[in-house]
A and B are shown apart, each in its own frame.
Chain A
Amino acid sequence: MKQDFTLEIQHLSKSYHRGKKEILKDINVSIKNGACVGILGANGSGKSTLLSILAGITTPTLGSFQVAHSTNATHATTNIGYIPQENPLMEELSALDNLRLWYSLSETSLEDELANGTLHELGIHDFLKTKVKYMSGGMKKRLSIGCSLAKSPNILLLDEPGAALDLPCKETILHCLQSYKAKGNLAIIATHEEAEIEICDQLFLLQDGTLLPFSYDGNLDTIVNAIPKGVSQ
């Protein structure tokens, strides 16, 4: 079990077009480890922006976030794994080559992970020599997750991981997420998928730039009614 930590987001705001379009407004939230957190919201509501800020890719206009460990607090971009919607892979190379790139940063042995670690759990060993450009969407997504887990991150950010995937693949990803959570890590998922929502311990609704706690009673209509139609694209 990993050391306990809390992800603290303070007064986080982001605007585009020189402040003309404010997509995130003063977000304040504190999330503890060992959980799976779902972020709901209409298309264009700012879910990807929020995740990219947490991944350290986008700079917030205002505010900050930090990972506060139980003993000391550090800025924690280095142990955050991020799986964007577009798979961060080299299309012309094989799964093994892509894994090599990310495992060159890691102290974990790639061979061990493929033999009996998370990569094996994701089933990547089945298509290790296949070039990314010949892979299905599910294979690519699993490989992206595998690459993101190379550095054994404490926090995993997933931007709509189950979008356009078949059921067995979704199942594999969900299984992997549950196992990840069980190890005391934190997974934050931007999602619209019912199965992904169901494994979440905590849900937030991103609406008009603000992040609101959301309770899901198992009825999808609750979500459909909560998300306003016609949010700007």
Chain B
Amino acid sequence: MKKTYFKLQCKRNFHSFPGFFLGILLLSLFGVILFLGFQESNLSKIKPQSVGIVIDESDNYAKLLLPLLSGTESINKQYTFVALTPDKLEKKFSSGKISMAFIIPKNYVKDMINGNVKPITVQYGTGDTGLASLLLKELCSAAATIILDTEKGIYALDEYYFYHNLPNQPESERKLNIDYIKRILMRNTLFEEKEATDTKQIQYTEYYFAVIMVLLFCFIGILAPGMFKSDAVSLEEKLHVEGFSYTKQSILKHLSIWLFAVASFGVLFFVASVILGNLEQLPNDFEDYTFSSWIGIFIPMLLALPMVCTLIRMVYEWISDASVSMLFLFLGILLFGYFSGFFYPYQLLPKIIQKTAVILPTKVSLDYVSQCVTGDFRSVTVVSLLCYTLFLLFFSIAGTNFRHKNIIRK
């Protein structure tokens, strides 16, 4: 009987496939349209990039550079300049508040006057590159010109000749100008480039891709309610009397749901891998991905499904009314999703929310799916995922038994 029951549960679940498939298709289309729209609006309206200028607080000359940059019309529409102290630099990079920074060496102008020019370090963030990065590189060139113009001004000052006791003014000026021309020709030496060392910076494309995947997993509870809702109480009771306990019924029901979810998403992932593997216009983070790369991302994600499905089944078990369960699930996804960083990056949420979210199953799923996307699996997350699955399964089974224990007949 158990074998027949399991087969029938699977059959019942597969009746949900058309609705589920259509729902996922519509949600995916909606997601793609939103994403393309977002990209389009980003291209047409480039937001000003924040650029950090790291200056030693005691360097009054260098401080003049900031208003000079901000006041330059050709660049101030595309960039916002922020003065920073060296200790705040890494924090600004990790929070994504600046995209790049110019680190001006201590006593830069003073040393320049003394003929000892140290390179300015240009530090890039590890975030998304592309158009913004290109523009930032142009900014380097612009900044170089400004600095060289500043140098030119400095060299032209009479006081400079007087201060350095230069006897032959025209000859010295000629030499300086030659030196200046040489420096223009090799102005790259004015800068030293480096990338931010903080690897914790959010990779937004990958992050939100993982969020979308977890949301799709969660929405299975709303798209296929017939699969998750409990059987008729009288049917469960009759099976129980036949020696097929509520616990065994619940376990087999979960197994059939897991099987359906893994099989359905398996099919969808295969189709998606074929499509994505052949698409040419993909975000930078995914542009080199082939069919096998996508399969390599998607297949491990399937391991998150049993936990998500068990969570949904638990909701349907404890709230016997299917419509109320769906509503609860929808609101729950929104609330838990917010705390887990679905709608706003988790790293940027207040610390108290971050600490609370660690225990949420949605956060565990997001962590695991994110690791599937980056390929950086952590055993702690995998173990947490499995533990949560068992924990939720226990509560779901407890729900079934509790429901039957509290039936009052007339």
Q: In the bound complex, do residue B235 and residue A88 qualify as a contact, i.e. CB atoms below 8 Å apart?
A: yes
Of the candidates A52, A87, A93, which one forms a contact with B409 in the assembled complex, judged by CB atoms under 8 Å apart? A52
Closest beta carbon of chain A to B12's beta carbon, Å: 5
Task: Tell me if A56 and B241 are in contact (CB < 8 A).
Answer: yes
Counting CB contacts under 8 A, is A91 at the interface? yes
Give min CB distance, A76 to chain B, whole Å.
Answer: 12
Q: Using a Cβ–Cβ cut-off of 8 Å, how many residues does chain A contribute to the interface with B?
A: 32
B408 beta carbon closer than 8 Å to chain A: yes
A45 to B410, CA, bound (A): 6
Determine if B137 is an interface residue (Cβ-Cβ < 8 Å): no
A90 touches B235 (CB 8 A): yes
- What total count of A-B pairs have CB within 8 Å? 69
Residues facing B in A40-99 (CB within 8 A) are 43-49, 52, 55-58, 77, 82, 84-93, 97
Q: Say whether, besides A16-B408, A101-B8, A104-B4, A90 and B234 are in contact (CB < 8 Å).
A: no
Pick out which of these stretches binds chain A: B225-233, B343-351, B388-396. B225-233
Contacts of B1 in A (CB 8 A): 101, 104-105
| CB pair A89 B232 closer than 8 Å | yes
Q: Is the CB of A92 within 8 A of B15?
A: yes
Q: Which of B3-39 contact A (CB under 8 A)?
A: 3-5, 8, 11-12, 15
User: Is A11 an interface residue when CB atoms closer than 8 A count as contact?
Assistant: no
Interface flag for B238 (CB, 8 Å): yes
Q: Give A92-119 interface residues, CB cut-off 8 Å to B.
A: 92-93, 97, 100-101, 104-105
On whether the beta carbons of B12 and A86 are closer than 8 Å, the reply is no
CA distance in complex: A85, B234 (Å): 8
Tally B residues with Cβ within 8 Å of A: 22
Which residues 109-167 of A sit at the B interface, judged by CB distance below 8 A?
Answer: none
Cα distance A52–B240 in the bound complex, in angstroms: 12
Closest beta carbon of chain A to B410's beta carbon, Å: 4
With A87-B232, A88-B232, A92-B15 given, is the CB distance from A49 to B410 under 8 Å? Answer: yes
Known: A100-B8, A104-B1. A57 touches B237 (CB 8 A): yes
The reply to whether B12 and A92 form a contact with Cβ atoms under 8 Å apart is yes
- Asked whether any CB of chain B lies closer than 8 Å to the CB of A233, the reply is yes
User: With the chains together, A48 CA to B234 CA distance in Å?
Assistant: 12
Per-residue A-contact encoding for B202-238, CB less than 8 Å = 1, 0 else: 0000000000000000000000001000011111011
Q: Once the chains are docked, how many angstroms separate the CA of A93 from the CA of B4? A: 13
In the docked arrangement, what's the CA distance between A16 and B407, Å? Answer: 10
- Residues from chain B with a CB closer than 8 A to the CB of A48 are 409-410
Residues of chain A within 8 A (CB-CB) of B5 are: 101
Nearest to B241 among chain A residues (CB) is A56
Q: Are A86 and B410 in contact (CB under 8 A)?
A: no
A97 partner, pick from B8, B231, B410, beta carbons under 8 A: B8
Q: Smallest Cβ distance from A22 to chain B, in angstroms?
A: 13
Contact A57 B240 (CB under 8 A): yes
Does B242 touch A at the CB level, under 8 Å? Answer: yes
Task: Write out, one digit per residue, whether chain A residues 160-202 have a CB within 8 A of any chain B CB (1) or not (0).
Answer: 0000000000000000000000000000000000000000000
Asked if B8 contacts A89 (CB within 8 A), the reply is: no
Instruction: Identify which of B226, B235, B240 contacts A89 (C-beta below 8 A).
Output: B235
Interface-central residue, B3, B235, B240, by most chain A CB under 10 Å: B235
Say yes or no: A58 contacts B410, CB within 8 Å: no
Do the beta carbons of A77 and B241 come within 8 Å of each other?
A: yes
Q: Other than the known A23-B410, A93-B12, what 12 A-B pairs have Cβ atoms closer than 8 Å?
A: A45-B410, A48-B410, A49-B410, A57-B240, A84-B234, A86-B233, A88-B232, A88-B235, A90-B232, A91-B232, A97-B8, A104-B3
Listed A/B pairs (18) with beta-carbon separation below 8 Å: A16-B408, A23-B409, A23-B410, A43-B410, A45-B410, A46-B410, A48-B410, A52-B409, A55-B238, A57-B240, A82-B238, A88-B237, A90-B12, A90-B231, A91-B232, A93-B15, A100-B8, A101-B8
In the A-B complex, the 8 residue pairs with the closest CB atoms: A88-B234, A88-B235, A104-B4, A44-B410, A84-B234, A49-B409, A48-B409, A86-B234
